[in-house]
Structure 1
Amino acid sequence: MATLGPDDESFELKQDQELRFEVENAPIEIEVTSGLAEIFGVELVKSKKYLFPIGAKGAVFTWQGCAITMKNARKNMTYVSKDTTPMNYYMNVHIILEKQRDEAENDSKRGPITMIVGPQDVGKSTLCHILLNYAVRMPGLNRKPIFIDLDVGQGEISVPGTIGALVIERPATIEDGFSQLAPIVYNFGHLTPTANMDLYQHCVERLWKSVDERMNKDAKTNASGMIINTCGWIKGDGFKCLLACAKRLRVDNILVLDQERLYQELKRDLPKTTDVVLLHKSGGVVDRTRQYRSEARDKRIKEYFYGSRLKPFNPHSFDVKFGEVQIYKIGAPVLPDSCMPLGVTATDFLTKVVLVQPGPSLLHHLLAMSFATTEQEIIDTNIIGFVCVTNVDMQRQTISVLCLQARPLPCTKLILTDIQYMDSN
């Protein structure tokens, strides 16, 4: 074992203990020297060194006990938790879901569809990761659950402003998370469902139809069910949104994190056939500031175009003539009821596809790419990716775009989003 430096530290964790860390001042390197440990359901390989950059937060948990060395521990926030970890409760949930998957497989039925809800910063995404990793780590069962992310504010499967689904076939990696092979992504184009509730629910319905079709084609995926992450908006219209999503996605189980009132409201308003369970959040969960969330969104978009430290991408930058593409936006200003044409409702305006004339207002916006052939297909069809507008030249009638593939664009129909990114590379 390497000699510890003055800022390094070694930890002996007992059974069911958790080592929490926040990387604030210098990257942390973690190595398990004996025993077994995991981070959010991902098993750590003994004697392998894992590097966590500034801004990273996590918790090393052990079921049986382990020894860990951590470089730069004293330069950052690191401590062994003294409070009771909720991991035993999470394991009990996993065991119940496994029984439901076994029953579904034996009866050739659909597996458990589980939605995780709660306010901001209670660990919803973390619990999703834990349950998905535990499912695919089951030896010899070949579980393939579908992860659905409805949190448009952060965008874990694609960029912020989208909802998506991903078949999980193997555990995540510490460095890059889950494999992003062949996701289904629908463009919403805003950072909160409040921006256009009708469009949001339409996207959820279209996502369900795509996922339902995929599950019907694969018995293992069908029996493995779904794990669904949601936004932290739970009051007023946010609660109505959760109820609508639960109905559209045919949810069987709802796990409520750290919000007893929400638990009681869901128990009251959902069908008795839906199991609603209240769980405690981890004591290591920290509140994230608005600035942190904004920086996290920028980081996620940057990773979309440029990749990660271990898997860098080399995006292309090129000009596109105005006449080579058609740019649309979804949603037109809603008129007062007295001005509405006969038979037209506000929903028709909120999901209306409008052609946009290229101009300086496109600068730094993300544009979703679509293989749609008609305007109706633009809101009904999943997208194939994004480009970022880095320059608009009105004199030359061109826009400069950042794109993952070389010229030309794979499609001619682009959808304007409210998501902006300032490319500094």
Structure 2
Amino acid sequence: MTDDKKSAQEFKLDPDNELRFEVESKNEKVYLILKAGLAEVFGTEIVKGKTYEFSSGAKVAIYTWQGCTIEVKGKTDVIYVAKETPMVTYSNCHAALEFMRIEADKENKKGPTAMIVGPNDVGKSTVCRILLNYAVRMGRRPIFVDLDMGQGQISIPGTIGALLIERPAAIDEGFSQEAPLVYHFGHKTPSANITLSEMLINQLANTVKERLEVNKKTRSSGVIINTCGWIKGGGYKQVLHAAKSFEVDVIMVLDQERLYNELVRDIPNFVKVVFLQKSGGVVERSKTARSESRDQRIREYFYGTPKNSMYPHSFDVKWSEIKLYKIGAPPLPDSCLPLGMKADDHLTKLVLLTPNPGILHHLLAVSFAEKDDDEILLNHVAGFVCVTNVDNERQTITLLSPQPKPLPNNILLFSELQFMDSH
């Protein structure tokens, strides 16, 4: 390591400025210390004097309302101070939601349900994180809903889910993943099976409504919904569908005026549609980068993060001990359909699979369903395992699992997402 890499850089930020940096190099670590003043990362306050560590793939923005001094050690690929940030706008959005929460508190009503929409790579997840962190810092307990199955912030890609947020996200780790509610979709884009995707969105919306009923504090705190970047054609219909299912009060549109105008036209008047600028720090990701970030999410599911390592288990399961289903059968031509059957019913049909080499490296969801019927489609899942070996002779499969055996249930659902375990 050369001396210049070790050397620390010091940045003095004026009020309403943001220090942005990215760490790209593999095995590179960057350390951050707040020396003076107050600052935050995506809405989480930085503790003065504490060292925060970031590794490859990190894209960080340190914002200060009052001004601060920050020390950065290590090799960053990009580092600069931005004087133009949309943070004041995001803060105003938070204030408007907080006003709605105060009203909801008084009348013992449901707090605001806000949905963030926009194309890929405009910072939707970041805006969700900022709004959730600000809410929690006000003593709220909002529910975070993630409908972006391509990235999967709450569990792994190929799922949608909800999480009760009780404390701000850790600066280097994100929100604590305690007891998330996760539904298995099994594809990285809703277009792979829109019928199933809409069924799951309805199911998740109903479950979230039930949670809001039983907990007064969460009820007034409301819900913040992240969505996927597919916003044209079927994707737009899905945005409308989610808005209706979750009975949203506010839709925040990031960076796309066309989408904003379409929503103003199509959404009922009692829903407020707001247009927001994206942050200049948002980076467009290539297909490769998106797929690497998916792999990273799955790897963390099994192995944890550099700061918080996990040691997954590997064990064999007999084929006879499990029931493996795939959701969706190949479509039948109309002439072969039984009377009264709709042509898209095949999209939500359960197909029993015999384990075969084709399932190697695929993820499987462990269902909570008790009976093997249609209930399996709409049940949330206990977690995920990955198939690391298929032994035809012994009729066993080897599974990588975050927990030791036995599996919590013998009903498993096939996901088209794969994970090559390179440990």
Kept in 1, the 8 Å contact 2:6–2:73? The answer is no
Residue correspondence of structure 1 range 2-401 to structure 2 within 5 A: 7-25=7-25, 26-72=28-74, 75-82=76-83, 84-138=84-138, 142-372=139-369, 373-401=371-399
Moved more, 291-300 or 369-378: 369-378
> In structure 1, what is the Cα distance between the partners aligned to 2:123 and 2:403?
35
**Letter paired with 1:79:** Y
Hey, which bits of structure 1, 4+ residues long, moved more than 3 A?
A: 3-7
SS of residue in 2 equivalent to 1:386: strand
> In structure 1, what is the Cα distance between the partners aligned to 2:29 and 2:308?
19
Residue 76 (structure 1) shift: 2.5
TM-score (normalizing by structure 2)? 0.97
SS of residue in 2 equivalent to 1:50: strand
SS of residue in 2 equivalent to 1:384: strand
Residue 31 (structure 1) shift: 0.6
Moved more, 287-296 or 20-29: 20-29
**Letter paired with 2:396:** T
> In structure 2, what is the Cα distance between the partners aligned to 1:327 and 1:375?
13
> In structure 1, what is the Cα distance between the partners aligned to 2:35 and 2:132?
26
Structure 2: runs of 5+ lacking an equivalent: none
Kept in 1, the 8 Å contact 2:364–2:386? The answer is yes
SS of residue in 2 equivalent to 1:281: coil
Residue 8 (structure 1) shift: 2.5
Residues 1:4 and 1:137: Cα distance change in structure 2 (over 3 Å):
farther
Residues 146-172 of structure 1: per-residue CA shift (max 9 Å, x gap):
000000000000010000000001101
Instruction: Give 2:407's aligned residue.
Output: 409
Number of aligned residue pairs: give it.
418
SS of residue in 2 equivalent to 1:375: coil
TM-score (normalizing by structure 1)? 0.96
Residue 341 (structure 1) shift: 1.6
**Letter paired with 1:51:** E
Residue 5 (structure 1) shift: 6.8
SS of residue in 2 equivalent to 1:19: strand
Moved more, 334-343 or 249-258: 334-343
Residue 228 (structure 1) shift: 0.2
**Letter paired with 1:122:** V
Residue 246 (structure 1) shift: 0.7
Structure 1: runs of 5+ lacking an equivalent: none
> In structure 1, what is the Cα distance between the partners aligned to 2:237 and 2:22?
35
C-alpha RMSD over aligned residues:
1.3
> In structure 1, what is the Cα distance between the partners aligned to 2:32 and 2:39?
11
> In structure 2, what is the Cα distance between the partners aligned to 1:109 and 1:358?
49
Residue 374 (structure 1) shift: 2.6
> In structure 1, what is the Cα distance between the partners aligned to 2:256 and 2:140?
30
Residues 103-144 of structure 1: per-residue CA shift (max 9 Å, x gap):
111101100000000000100000000000000001xxx311
Residues 274-333 of structure 1: per-residue CA shift (max 9 Å, x gap):
100000000010100111111111110011011112221111101000000010011111
> In structure 1, what is the Cα distance between the partners aligned to 2:6 and 2:392?
58
Kept in 1, the 8 Å contact 2:315–2:400? The answer is yes
Residue 336 (structure 1) shift: 2.7
